[in-house]
Amino acid sequence: MKLVPCPLNGWRPASEFSYGGPVEEMPDPQQCSDEAWMEYVFSHEGAPGVKQEWWYHIASGTWFVAERDTVADKFIRSYLP
């Protein structure tokens, strides 16, 4: 079974987690242009690589950031934001 490293609970089965998408800086919705807001809401760096992602450990209610290689599906590290 696929394991995910939770910073609080260690390596746990992937079924205990929910994927929260890439970590992205939110522009100020009051200030930014419509294009910039669209980019933030919809567009992503879709190409593969090592990415920073939000993950949620459902059992303990923990949101954290994980660095993961999206080709090899290997977690490199994870930490609390």
Partner 1 sequence: MAHQLLRFAMYKDHPEPRMFNTPDELQDSYDVVIIGGGGHGLAAAYYLAKDHGITNVAVLEKGYIGGGNTGRNTTIVRSNYLTPEGVQFYDRSVRLFQDLSQDFDLNIFYSTRGHYTLAHTEASLNTMRWRAEVNKHYDVDSEVVYPREIQSDVPEMDLECGGEMPVMGALYHAPGAIARHDAVAWGYGKGASLRGAEIHQKTEVTGINAESGRVVGVETNRGTIRTNKVLCAVAGFTPRVTEMAGFSTPIEIRPLQAAVSEPHKPWLDTIIVSGTLHTYINQSSRGELVMGSALDPYELHSTRSSLDFTEGLIDNALDLFPFTSELKVVRQWAGMADITPDFAPIMGKTPLDGFYLDSGWGTWGFKATPISGKTMSELVATDRVPELIHPFRLSRFAENRLMGERAAASVGH
Q: Detail the DSSP E strand segments found in 1-81.
A: 3-6, 10-13, 17-22, 50-57, 62-69, 74-79
71 makes contact with partner 1 (CB under 8 A): yes
Contact between 2 and partner 1 per CB under 8 A: yes
Piece in contact with partner 1 (CB under 8 A), picked from 23-31, 39-47, 56-64: 39-47
Q: Assess contact for 50 and 77: CB atoms under 8 A.
A: no
Under rule CB under 8 A, residue 26 binds partner 1:
no
Mapped onto helix, strand or coil, the DSSP state of residue 37 is helix
Sites of contact with partner 1 (CB under 8 A): 1-2, 14-15, 18-19, 22, 34-35, 38-39, 41-48, 51, 53, 70-73
